Structure 1
Amino acid sequence: MAQFSRDDVSSFEYVEAIPRNDRTPKQQRMWRYIAMAVAAVVVIVVVVVVAVVVTNHKKNNQTSSTGNNQLVISPYSNMQAIVTNNDTSLQQKERIFVIGDVHGCVKEFNDIVAKLNYDPTKDQIILAGDLTSKGPDSVGVVRRAKELGVLCVRGNHDDKVVRLKTFEIEKGRNAMYPVDATMPEGGVPDPIKFKNYHTGVSFNFTQSDYDYLASCPVMLHMPFLNNTIVVHGGLDPNIHSLENQIPFMVMNMRDIDKNNVTSIDSGVGEQWATVWNANQKLLNMDNTMIYYGHDSSRGLNIKQTTFGLDTGCVYGGSLTAINVKTHELTQVSCQTYVKKGSSNDD
């Protein structure tokens, strides 16, 4: 069999059988540069992909407890997030009571004050938010609370009243039209229209009424008293410091859903208090006692370190007080002012 050599130019098969395709030095350099460029692009793409994955992972870890750690606070909220009270005068009180949602039920508020034989010189009442709205006399509750020197935290309904009154004070009542318009607050999670029923409550407030309600912090912390914290809705058990809690969620939360996200709805997962108690040993809040309202659908809800006190007074349930030093409960029966599930139930 004939053997062909690529260097044997005398062979008639030379061109056809073994074609020469040598590259010039210039071509070799060009292809080397192309190869280097392609390799560099591949490295850059890999680095970018890794960076995006890491960033998203960190972001997901940071936001997993709330779904959004950048919830906008209204410019009209006039809000104190945390007040720490270690005052000697408070420490010297013989009895300290936390009372669940009053919701404008001034008669029942007076009833429980009387049943407690409350003495402002010796005792202290703390209201767990939602002093206002739904019931017949929000202004009456606020004025009676001021008169008795009651401490308080801000509920989700109180927050709407404060925001509307702040807007009225700053812009004037004439700026609250048309009534179908939404109050300009940026991207808040709970926008309010001027026709909202909270507006009627806010219009009846004096400056003094407003100042009192606006002074109620989102979280009241009393380290001297078994590290007691009073809030309206709850605390996110995935956030290990009060400073990082999200005010909107503290006022509104009910459940931790299946994605470990704090939810304002109930029945979408486990109640935040259940998760809190289960994780108590892992939290940086040893022996913390939390007293809250807001969740009337679950009624009186006493657990190891959490005490749910909204027993649906405005719906015809009861108004509940707890002595935080002894955990003794006191209740009074309430009239039915609002049917559960009405348009005002939000």
Structure 2
Amino acid sequence: MSTYAIGDLHGCHQEFIALLDQLSFNPSRDTLWLVGDLINRGPASLECLQEVKALGSAARTVLGNHDFHLLVAARGGGKLKKNDTLSDVLKAPDREGLLDWLQSLPLSVHEGNKVMTHAGLLPQWGVAQAEALGREVQEALASETSGDFLTRLFGNQPDSWQDDLDGMERLRLIVNVFTRMRFIDTHGRLEFAAKEGLESAPKGFQPWFQYPRTDDAHLLFGHWAALEGKVPQARVTVEALDTGCVWGGRLTALNLANGERISVPSQQVN
């Protein structure tokens, strides 16, 4: 009976199946934690969604920024981008069921002191506070006005947390922290332009995991392929799980019981 946390799939279904085989994964016995961004960039977004959805309670999945991008394109009036690989999902006969399932997913998974989110956790947020904020977004996604929420979701402002934020500004900032965060300043202000490795940090900004926390949370995240699974100078207990499978790297699983990492090589040609 094992639990594995797996990095961003990004439509790499062939590698996902190879990794499950490598793990001897048995859904009647084992559990997967999936860090979000199941889709896009890779060739098999539809198959990845179908595979994970079919696992039912054997898979615990959080939403990533690409998952939100699909929901916005499908249900919030957004448009696909040039390099998106989401058309197969939007044209699929089971499209609505897949989108309903995706829209029901949380922004975090928490068990013991382990917390998984797509992009990370703001140092100013305690775990209980972060979970409560994530539920606010889940409620918006489940509401009758979810289409309006998705239409207004994208944007870079506000870029720092204030307890008195409300309405769409509050929800947008919560989603951006959970799904887009990389570099922040000492006040927790988010910087959205820099997306490469640590050398791309703008002046006055550091990776979010280089700021201390006041709890013992063990944080699991994906999103940042340029880190190649490494978290140098981390001041919190943290695991980076996106090892760039869709970019020709590897797809990686972390055994949550013993910390062992298991990975398979990418089959993508870039």
Q: Specify the TM-score bucket, using the shorter chain as the normaliser.
A: 0.7 to 0.9
From 200, 205, 229, the equivalent of 2:87 is 200
Q: Distance in 2 between matches of 1:263 and 1:137?
A: 31
- CA separation of 1:120 and 1:272: change in aligned 2, threshold 3 A: same
1:290 aligns with 2:219: yes
Q: Distance in 2 between matches of 1:259 and 1:228?
A: 25
From 158, 164, 168, the equivalent of 2:67 is 158
Q: Distance in 1 between matches of 2:219 and 2:91?
A: 32
Q: Distance in 2 between matches of 1:122 and 1:319?
A: 22
Query: 1:202 Cα deviation (Å)?
Result: 4.3
CA offset digits 1:271-315 (Å, max 9, x no partner) = 11121xxx22xx2xx321111100001111255511111000001
CA contact (8 A) 1:299 1:310 kept: yes
From 312, 315, 337, the equivalent of 2:244 is 312
Q: Distance in 1 between matches of 2:49 and 2:61?
A: 10
* Matched residue, 2:23: 116
- CA separation of 1:333 and 1:195: change in aligned 2, threshold 3 A: closer
Letter aligned with residue 320 of structure 1: T
**1:136-215 alignment to 2 at 5 Å?**
136-149=43-56, 150-167=59-76, 183=77, 192-193=78-79, 197=84, 200-205=87-92, 206-215=95-104
Q: Distance in 2 between matches of 1:204 and 1:124?
A: 30
Query: 1:162 Cα deviation (Å)?
Result: 1.5
CA contact (8 A) 2:13 2:48 kept: yes
From 108, 127, 130, the equivalent of 1:219 is 108
- CA separation of 1:195 and 1:329: change in aligned 2, threshold 3 A: closer
Q: Secondary structure at the match of 1:233?
A: coil
> Unaligned stretches of 5+ in structure 2?
135-173, 196-200
CA contact (8 A) 2:18 2:264 kept: yes
Aligned CA-pair RMSD = 2.1
Structure number with greater CO (CA < 8 Å, separation at least 6) is 2
Which structure has the greater CA radius of gyration?
1
- CA separation of 1:199 and 1:332: change in aligned 2, threshold 3 A: closer
CA contact (8 A) 1:101 1:128 kept: yes
* Matched residue, 2:228: 299
Q: Distance in 1 between matches of 2:267 and 2:37?
A: 17
Q: How much identity, in percent, do the aligned residues show?
A: 30
* Matched residue, 2:4: 97
Q: Distance in 2 between matches of 1:204 and 1:322?
A: 33
Q: Secondary structure at the match of 2:268?
A: coil
**1:27-176 alignment to 2 at 5 Å?**
94-149=1-56, 150-167=59-76
Q: Scaled by the length of structure 2, what TM-score is found?
A: 0.72
Query: 1:244 Cα deviation (Å)?
Result: 4.5
CA offset digits 1:162-188 (Å, max 9, x no partner) = 222224xxxxxxxxxxxxxxx3xxxxx
Q: Distance in 2 between matches of 1:123 and 1:166?
A: 33
Query: 1:234 Cα deviation (Å)?
Result: 1.0
CA contact (8 A) 1:158 1:213 kept: yes
Q: Distance in 2 between matches of 1:252 and 1:112?
A: 26
Q: Distance in 2 between matches of 1:257 and 1:202?
A: 37
Matched positions, count: 212
CA offset digits 1:64-119 (Å, max 9, x no partner) = xxxxxxxxxxxxxxxxxxxxxxxxxxxxxx21111001100000000000000001
CA contact (8 A) 1:236 1:262 kept: no
CA contact (8 A) 1:164 1:199 kept: no
From 248, 265, 270, the equivalent of 2:206 is 270
Query: 1:260 Cα deviation (Å)?
Result: 4.4
* Matched residue, 2:154: none
1:321 aligns with 2:208: no
> Unaligned stretches of 5+ in structure 1?
1-93, 168-182, 184-191, 340-346
